[in-house]
Structure 1
Amino acid sequence: MDNLATDLQPLLETAQQREFTSPQKAAYPGVRAPLPHEYTKTLLQAVYSLITDLYQIPKHLKLYPLNQYYSLVSTAPEKLARLQRVPHFDNLSPYYFAIMHYLAPGPRGGTGFFRHGPSGFENINASRFETFKGSAEAYMAEHGEPPSRYQTQSDEHFVITETISYQQNRLMIYPGTLLHSGLIDPDTDIDANPQTGRLTANLFIEFK
């Protein structure tokens, strides 16, 4: 959804007042800070019916907000861990969703969705996880670990199926089972400063 907010300035100004830190457990290659409560409340109210209708969420399930962050990519390609160099999924639950709002002005790298070449999977649910994991590990055992870079193009291991280009004030909502990756451009996107970096709002929710 484009042109989501009528005025992004308050959200941008709040980000400049926040203290950004590196997540201790998350695989995110950067720093994060809490989003304003009013923003997350208003946003979730606005998209609730869209998500429940489009994805046919069972009516007895309730929405639970899990995490809500400002995010900035700050890790140089040569410092990425192995799992940060390949597309990933967020969760195995069919009712887990990621919401991303591009906040900073562009141009920036967007977001890519991928298919895993050896297994043919584009989304990883509980029944596919062990097959996907074994297939990915076997591929890397034979061909070597992925190079020290953000994956922004197709190769034999992962194939891009869709890209969502970066545009300020664009919102994306997608199932957490989908394989995806930020199409990070080291020249424009690696910056921990909320005034100049690739600032996004990231929310994670689950119906249960």
Structure 2
Amino acid sequence: METGVGKFACAAEPRCEVVSVGNEQLPVLVVDGLAAEPELLLEYAAAAPGFSARAGDYYPGLRKPLPSAYTENLCATLDKTLREVFQLPSTAAAEPLLCALSIATTPAEKLRPIQRLPHFDSSDPNQLAVVHYLCPPQLGGTAFYRHRASGFESIDADRLYGYAAALKQQVMASPPQGYTSGDSQLFVQTARFDAQFNRALIYRGNQLHSGLINATTGLSADPRAGRLTATSFIRFTR
């Protein structure tokens, strides 16, 4: 039986694989065939109202809110798997912080400095990020990174201050250019995952990562042609 109804339903049994990444062996959950009818999500993305920029959002493009049913269905379908893979407290409640369709549109030359680097979403290890690809592989997946100077692949509360201060000095000395791709002077790519239509990646939000946004294939704002994803942040609270 599908979880939920209509365009936001999850498949009954999506295919799940856990990959351990980097020296820190951080888990990344790869879920293929997540949505029961992903084409309905494309229809929702293409319908009015359209996408828009969000103030204070570092995502290099536009967003469109998704109803909470999307994340509720995802959490219900994958609840047991998420708790096992990410060692979440059995009593923790899932709290959606973001649920939106996202489409990359910002030209490389217009990126802000912070958008040119691998990043983390939160220092809370109980906050998860979900990137659900609704686009073909050539528009770019997601990669994970190690900070060369510190060796950090994830940033928790204890690492946050020292890491942020060191990275600021490095960026001021040698400003990065363009979208993150592969190894750089400051970061080593530890793993990369290709986009596949209706595939989702789920990982801790404190893991250093970046979208592999291929500006050469175009940054179309058309949801049926651009790098469209459904993006969720989910915090598990006691």
Residue 163 (str. 1) matches residue 189 (str. 2): no
- 1:200 maps to which residue? 229
- 1:85 maps to which residue? 116
- 2:182 maps to which residue? 153
- 1:128 maps to which residue? 159
Pairwise mapping of residues 20-169 of structure 1 onto structure 2 (< 5 A)?
20-142=51-173, 144-147=174-177, 149-169=178-198
Distance of 1:205 and 1:114 partners within structure 2: 21
Amino acid at match of 1:8: P
Distance of 1:67 and 1:92 partners within structure 2: 16
Q: Which moved more, 1:193-202 or 1:105-114?
A: 105-114
Question: Quick check: 1:107–1:167 contact (8 Å CA) kept in 2?
Answer: no
Question: Quick check: 2:75–2:94 contact (8 Å CA) kept in 1?
Answer: no
Distance of 1:146 and 1:158 partners within structure 2: 11
Q: CA deviation at 1:197?
A: 0.6
Distance of 2:220 and 2:113 partners within structure 1: 21
Secondary structure at 1:49's aligned position in 2? helix
Amino acid at match of 1:145: P
Instruction: Indicate the percent of aligned positions where both proteins have the same amino acid.
Output: 39
Q: Which moved more, 1:196-205 or 1:17-26?
A: 17-26
Q: Which moved more, 1:17-26 or 1:157-166?
A: 17-26
Q: Which moved more, 1:104-113 or 1:164-173?
A: 104-113
Distance of 1:190 and 1:99 partners within structure 2: 21
Q: Greater relative contact order: 1 or 2 (C-alpha under 8 angstroms, separation 6 or more)?
A: 1
Secondary structure at 1:128's aligned position in 2? helix
Q: CA RMSD in A?
A: 1.3
Misfit runs of 4+, over 4 Å: none
Equivalent of 1:182 in 179, 201, 211: 211
Residue 15 (str. 1) matches residue 16 (str. 2): no
Q: CA deviation at 1:156?
A: 2.3
TM-score (norm 2): 0.83
Q: CA deviation at 1:189?
A: 4.8
More strand by share: 2
Distance of 1:26 and 1:36 partners within structure 2: 19
Aligned residues: 206
Q: Which moved more, 1:111-120 or 1:184-193?
A: 184-193
Q: CA deviation at 1:5?
A: 2.5
Amino acid at match of 2:59: Y
Question: Quick check: 2:137–2:194 contact (8 Å CA) kept in 1?
Answer: no
Secondary structure at 1:107's aligned position in 2? helix
- 2:18 maps to which residue? none
Secondary structure at 1:68's aligned position in 2? strand
Q: Which moved more, 1:46-55 or 1:118-127?
A: 46-55
